Structure 1
Amino acid sequence: MSGAGWGGDVATLWAAAIDAPPGPRLPAHLDFARTETGLRDLLAGAGLVDVTARGVTWTHRAAVDSMWRGAEAGIGGIGTVVSALAAADRERLRTEHDRLVEDLVHDGRLCLRTRALLAVGTRA
């Protein structure tokens, strides 16, 4: 299940809705690769030993408008963007959001393929 024209993750969906590339998560000097190796290296650099990391994927199922309601409530980086928009621009973004998630609605629920990195380590 993936939406046409975007990579299938939440950040890419919002970037497609806004018609802008996703912004950086952290300043460049603090950022790290969003990979198993990148997360493992980050934790090892913080002093953890015996660090393991792996990716986990699942389908997140929620109310169709759940992502929009979160953004409209000011949650996350996209919430900051939505809160700053004029009413007409907010409505245009809502329309684009709804168009993009349309292919992700199955049995009345938003079904969004999700991936997370999990890591474990021990303090030295």
Structure 2
Amino acid sequence: MSVTAFDDSERQIWAGRAAAYADTFAELCAHTVPHLLDAAEVGPGVRVLDVGTGPGTVAAAACDRGAKVTAVDAEPSMVELARAAAPTADCRVAVLPALPFGDGEFDAVVGNFVLNHVGRPRSALAELRRVARPDGWVALTIWATPPAPGQALIGRAIQAAGAQRPPHLPPLPPEEDFSRTPAGLTALLESAGLREAYGETLRWNHRVAADEWWSGPAAGVAFTGQLIRSQPPEVRAEIRRFFDEFSGEFADVDGLLTLPHAALLVRARR
């Protein structure tokens, strides 16, 4: 299957940025990990595939539960961190929607914030279904839309500064997009042949210093970081100015930001 422009952009966005992600947004994304593993009924002896493992947070947590863990990521620098975080797991480079595993090889397949990084979500889900055993669980998280206030902070600053999306950061094609709601995500799983789909919204507050929160996009992490870096210097300065202004809405008396976030959690059986 050919690589889409969206997929190619994602590979470039994340190339070599594992350490920067681990130092910034990884703690935020770790919040959903226990819920994700519970949804997939991960426990001792369960054969788990962690897709889009990133720095190995999910893989390490699954190993701690006594599971037999295989973890993959499209970015080699992420796989290096995952191997260090989960030394008993089989961590390797692999890219959706073409996984190097046999049909029904895993009892559970999980992906923490991976579906938003693929150009063909339905094809990716069909591949996750393929490698899960009959009656095995597929469990995923993805950011909710519209975003929670804390999640929207950096995006608000980008919009207020009048930043323009460059051509090398294409959106997901409309025919591949889906509603980022529990109902929309469960419908997407069902369209891929999965059954007993159930979705819910997870909400939590992420506490972080403003400079630390800014450091992720400033280092080019994720789509927002690449969008900011693609702007002229004067626009980048305006984005930071608006970020500082809007951050005041979330600041505690001790100077930390309390940022409300929301993610969707869904599970379904093969």
Give me the TM-score of the superposition, normalised by structure 1.
Answer: 0.80
Q: Do the aligned partners of 2:154 and 2:243 also contact (CA within 8 Å) in 1?
A: yes
Q: Do the aligned partners of 1:53 and 1:120 also contact (CA within 8 Å) in 2?
A: yes
Q: What is the alpha-carbon root mean square deviation over aligned residues?
A: 2.2
Q: Do the aligned partners of 2:201 and 2:263 also contact (CA within 8 Å) in 1?
A: yes
Flag structure 2 segments of 5+ consecutive residues without an equivalent.
Answer: 1-147
- The structural deviation recorded for 1:88 is 2.9
Flag structure 1 segments of 5+ consecutive residues without an equivalent.
Answer: 1-6
Q: Which of 157, 179, 192 lines up with 1:17 in the alignment?
A: 157
Distance 1:48-1:30 versus aligned 2 partners, 3 A rule: same
Larger radius of gyration: 2
Which residue number in structure 2 is paired with residue 99 of structure 1? 245
Q: Which of 22, 25, 33 lines up with 2:179 in the alignment?
A: 33
Which residue number in structure 2 is paired with residue 3 of structure 1? none
Q: Do the aligned partners of 1:25 and 1:31 also contact (CA within 8 Å) in 2?
A: no
- The structural deviation recorded for 1:96 is 0.8
Q: Do the aligned partners of 2:155 and 2:224 also contact (CA within 8 Å) in 1?
A: no
Which residue number in structure 2 is paired with residue 55 of structure 1? 201
Secondary structure at 2:149's aligned position in 1? coil
- The structural deviation recorded for 1:77 is 1.4
Post-superposition, which runs of at least 4 consecutive aligned residues in structure 1 deviate over 6 A? none
State the number of aligned residues.
Answer: 115
Distance 1:25-1:65 versus aligned 2 partners, 3 A rule: farther
User: Over residues 53-106 of structure 1, what are the superposed CA-to-partner deviations in whole Å (9 max), with x where a residue is unaligned?
Assistant: 000101011122233111111111111121112333222211111101112011
Q: Do the aligned partners of 2:196 and 2:268 also contact (CA within 8 Å) in 1?
A: yes
- The structural deviation recorded for 1:113 is 0.5
Give me the TM-score of the superposition, normalised by structure 2.
Answer: 0.39
Secondary structure at 2:172's aligned position in 1? coil
